[in-house]
Amino acid sequence: MRMPLAIFQIVLALALAILTFLLYWNNRHLTDPRHLRLLQDTLKSYDEVLETHAKVYWTFYESLHTHRKTIQSLSELNQALTPLATTMREISDLTIFGKKPLGSCREFANSLLQTSRNITASLDDTDHTLASFDGEAHQAILSAIDSTRTDIATVSLELERQMVLFRRTTYMALAVGLLISALFLLNGLQALMAGKG
């Protein structure tokens, strides 16, 4: 009766050793430093993209005042079109010998007035939108970018720390698994020898 138990312990010891080694091999592949480097490079790329976004945003914010002045100048120029279009409409109504020789100008003047109104509305909307980028909004955007960059750096460090811990756990699991396997093997061999003797 001791003989089948001894053989079972030896087979169990070998199966446990093989399973332990396969687990170690799989985990070793998971903790390959190349994988960690690849993940860290990806996180670094995200960080660089955010850094570029911050620089682009800074450039945009610094040029905002110039853009607003340009829009306001365009708006003033556009407002000068209104009297021109009104005068053209009046001229188109001018009658000479019962005829309106400049009558075709009326349609152009009406089109110019409508276009001027549309441009004014568009420029006003644009100026209003640009005005909403005040210092507080500017700081909030930059703070969000900095916070995200800090989070990415933290994730990168935590990822490295977790990989080291996972690697250590893998080595400990290998050692414990092989030790238990060796104990089962020795116990099985001892029982096998005792059964023959």
The CATH number linked to 122 is: 1.10.287.950
Count, residues in the chain: 197
Q: What's the confidence (pLDDT) of residue 151? A: 92
Q: Which of 189, 196, 197, 177 is nearest to 10 (CA)?
A: 189
**C-alpha closest to that of 54 among 119, 121, 150:** 150
* Among the listed residues 19, 27, 25, the one whose alpha carbon sits nearest the alpha carbon of residue 180: 19
* Angle (CA) 139 144 145, round 5°: 100
What is the domain range of residue 12?
2-196
Q: Within 10 A of 123 (CB to CB), how many other CB atoms are there?
A: 20
What pLDDT, on the 0 to 100 scale, is given for residue 102? 67
- The separation between the first and the last C-alpha atoms of the chain, rounded to the nearest angstrom, is 14
Per-residue pLDDT of the chain (197 residues; tens, 9 = 90+): 467 888 888 888 899 899 988 888 888 877 777 887 888 889 899 999 999 988 888 888 888 788 888 888 888 888 888 888 888 888 877 777 777 766 677 788 888 888 888 888 888 888 888 877 777 888 888 899 999 999 999 998 888 888 888 888 888 888 998 999 998 889 888 888 887 76
The pTM for the full model equals 0.56
For the chain, the farthest-separated pair of C-alpha atoms sits apart, in whole angstroms, at 142
Q: Based on the structure, what is the number of domains in the chain?
A: 1
